Structure 1
Amino acid sequence: MDLHWLKPLLGRTSPFTTVFLDATRAESAGESEAADRWRAARRTLERDGAPARVLDEIADLVTVPTGVRGPHGRVVIADADGVVVDRVVAEPPAQTVATHGPVPDLVAAVRAADQAVDLLVVAVDRTGADLTWKSAGGARAASAPADDIVRESVEGGHDDVHKTREGGLSRRSQTRAEDSWERNAEAVAAFLDKRVAERCPELIVLTGDVRAVALVCENVGRQVRELVVEVPGGARGEGAKPEAFATRVRAEVDACRERRRQRVLDRFGQALGRGAGAVTSLDDVVEVLRRGQVAELVLADDALTTLQEREVLVGLQPLELATSHADLETLGVSEARRFPAVVALARAALGQDAGVTFTAEATPELVDGVGALLRWSDDSTPSEQLLTQSADAKRVRTIV
């Protein structure tokens, strides 16, 4: 998960104004529908004390069309001096988020980042391939081009790709054509192996001529092979039914996103089962975040309201957090602030370049609806052992 675009928020001066709204332009409503959503959000922010200067700056941004077709959202976060983050995200929120207070609504922004999948679409024919690199879902700078993608092509170099059925030399011509297909596919596969090793996409969609697709698949290396899904309907240039192909690609992106989430949850469950490499409960997660041990923060959707209501003590730096004044004082923090727990957790995860994974619901092993996969452990790292035979899933806390 790419959260680097949220890092400018660290160390900024409060208060913060956060807006996450549906930026979709309905054809029938023109610009009025999006403008109405902003006006409603602005009234809420004015009531909560957001300064008019900041609201005017946000209005100048969100009332300008993004240039994106189809459903999408927009996340804008401002501090006391003005707008710091302005991103377009693939999925609009179910409800508009409009908050003004001492901390930004990081959860809305992090959830937007959780949507992103780094995608490569490869359309092949018997002469070469077109590669299209893009981030499917997720967040991009609102100032970036709406078509924020990279395209490149590779040609095999062997031009004798057409079979002939006439004349005494037809068999020889067919053999030459098939040989050209294979050599072109080898060239495409070699180029693909090289570029994938350099850019490391999460998903590769391979489409185009059926025979060429099969030949490329036979020749790519293991890294590419493990990422490839074959999706019919695409072609070099414009496919016959681009809308149908785009729908199939979106389905594969959704499946990739779910696989990514499930891999994290599987690793989390296995680490808990071993009693090493993962922790759960608010107290233990705060402790490992404070120590910079977290690779991935796990949050249950149905616990977010509770985590918003619970508070964690924080200092000026992201990793200065604790559930007690005594723990915070050991870090040399004399003046503590109180943040909603979910904001403090997301802030600390951002401060140590950890990822964040959301799961639909809290499971018995996810105590307090929060857990963490660890980068490293030592003798003082808390470890969890679950009483899986107990209906109330009580936890024994040990030190390993």
Structure 2
Amino acid sequence: MELSFLRPLYTEGAPVASVYLDTTRAVPDADERIATRWRTARRTLAEHGADEATLEALDATVGGVPDLPGPQGEALFAADGRLLGVFTLTEPPAADRALWAPVPDPLLLAFDRDHQVPHVVVAVDREGADVEGYPAAAHEPAFRRTFNGSTLHITRVRAGAEAQASFHRRTVNVWSENTEQAAQDVRAAVDAVGAQVALVAGDPKAFGLLRDHLEPLPASLVKVGGGRTDAQSRAALREAADAALHEISAESHREALRQLEEALAGGRALQGIPAVKEALAEGRVDTLFMAPPEGIWDVPLFASERNPRALATDRAALGNDPTVFEAPAPLLLLRAAVLGDASFSEILPPTECTDGVAALLRY
């Protein structure tokens, strides 16, 4: 997963407020529950030195997505009286969290986003298609287009041999023309959201024609259940799409971890905080791998505002730089990866790495 979306969270010389809240709306008294959680988090931030302007910037935004069904969470970041970023989480945090620190804490956000897949959902039939494009972790489509083409001669009819063949040719031509337009919409959606996969449901014949019109496509094409005919078919499509996305994400992680294990065996990867921090400082890390940081949260590292990729286990190693500060290792490793244009992937069982950290190297 690319980490560029986290860059705006890193501001020079300013402490950052990081907040994670359960903002699930599908419960009774959701507004009051969320308000209570935020008051507790706000008080924690104030007690640790957060300025009122920054707290007011969060006041104006906190609350989650009102119309989103099911569980959800929210990650918010602010500094110097301005909002740095607000993100909806696909699952609530295990516990609400509020941190006022020299660096932001986007770890839970990174793990949540790492399992999301930018995708396109297509419901196609002989008349056209409904096409929706979803960026990673989006709850609403960023791209939406519906096409209904010609219905003339869309159904094959019984007739004499010559007439029947003529009608069949017209039917196939209409199907092909309709799916050609639908294919253009799918390509536009894939480009708009950087989709890795297009999930297609509906008429088998139309699917085959659509597939032919889409070759080649930079995203994988996957057939799923459901359709576009009625609400029940559309609900079945969403359920099938979610199941397919879960498996696609799981397979992607399995492949990434397989490559990591091969690279570790071949000397093209490193593991453990000491080795990984040095590779990050040298700009050699292609992908930072990290397990959920419970086990290394208390491991401190030192960093500098002047050189954010330089990390040390001893303050003296960074010289007389007055901007040196101490923070938990996971936060500083992730910051160095973001600012070094590295990617990110979670370490999942049964794979284990020293300190729960590894790095696939660029060179």
TM-score, normalised relative to structure 1: 0.80
| 1:173 to 2:167 alignment | yes
Query: How big is the shift at 1:355?
Result: 1.7
CA distance in 2, matches of 1:186, 1:64: 39
- Which of residues 196, 199, 203 is equivalent to 2:197? 203
Q: 1:363 to 1:111 in 2, by over 3 A?
A: closer
CA–CA distance in structure 1, aligned partners of residues 184 and 141 of structure 2:
26
Indicate the SS of the match to 1:21: strand
In structure 2, C-alpha distance between the alignment counterparts of 1:190 and 1:47, rounded to whole Å:
55
CA distance in 2, matches of 1:212, 1:112: 35
Question: Pick from 274, 280, 286: which aligns with 1:289?
Answer: 280
What is aligned with 1:143? none
Q: Which position in structure 2 is the counterpart of 1:240?
A: 232
The equivalent of 2:295 in structure 1 is 306
Q: Which moved more, 1:313-322 or 1:30-39?
A: 30-39
Larger relative contact order, structure 1 or 2 (CA cutoff 8 Å, min sep 6): 2
Q: How does 1:133-212 map to 2 (within 5 A)?
A: 133-137=133-137, 147-153=140-146, 159-166=152-159, 169-186=163-180, 188-189=182-183, 192=186, 196=190, 200-212=194-206
Partner of 1:131: 131
Aligned to 1:73: 73
Taking structure 2 as the reference length, the TM-score comes to 0.87
Contact 2:16/2:103 (8 A) holds in 1: yes
Identity across matched positions, percent: 29
Query: Structure 1 residue 286: deviation in Å?
Result: 0.4
Letter in 1 for 2:334: A
DSSP 3-state at the match of 1:373: strand
1:346 match = 334
Structure 2 CA distance for aligned equivalents of residues 204 and 213 of structure 1:
12
Pairs within 5 Å for 1:258-273: 258-273=250-265
Aligned length: 361
Kindly state the Cα deviation for residue 85 of structure 1 after the two structures are TM-superposed.
1.7
TM-superposed deviation, 1:325 = 4.8
**Deviation at residue 289 of structure 1 after TM alignment:** 0.4
Amino acid in structure 2 at the alignment position of 1:93: P
1:92–1:177 CA distance, 2 compared to 1 (3 A): same
Corresponding residue SS for 1:339: strand
User: How far off its partner does 1:118 sit?
Assistant: 0.8
What's the CA shift for 1:158? 8.4
Q: 1:362 to 1:162 in 2, by over 3 A?
A: closer
> Would the alpha carbon gap of residues 121 and 34 (structure 1) be closer, same or farther in structure 2, given more than 3 Å must change?
same
**SS in structure 2 of the partner of residue 241 of structure 1:** helix
Q: In 1, Cα distance between the equivalents of 2:123 and 2:166?
A: 28
Q: Which ranges in structure 1 are unaligned for 5 or more consecutive residues?
A: 139-145, 378-400
Deviation at 1:256, TM superposition (A): 2.0
CA RMSD of aligned residues (A): 2.9
Q: Is the 8 A contact 2:57 2:81 kept in 1?
A: no
* Residue type at the aligned position of 1:367: T
Question: Of 311, 324, 328, which residue of structure 2 is paired with 1:321?
Answer: 311
Distance in 1 between residues matched to 2:316 and 2:15, nearest whole Å: 27
1-side partners of 2:84 and 2:288: how far apart?
24
Q: 1:130 to 1:285 in 2, by over 3 A?
A: same
Distance 1:337 1:46 in 2: 21
2:6 maps to which residue? 6
Residue pair 2:304, 2:323 contacting (<8 A) in 1 also: yes
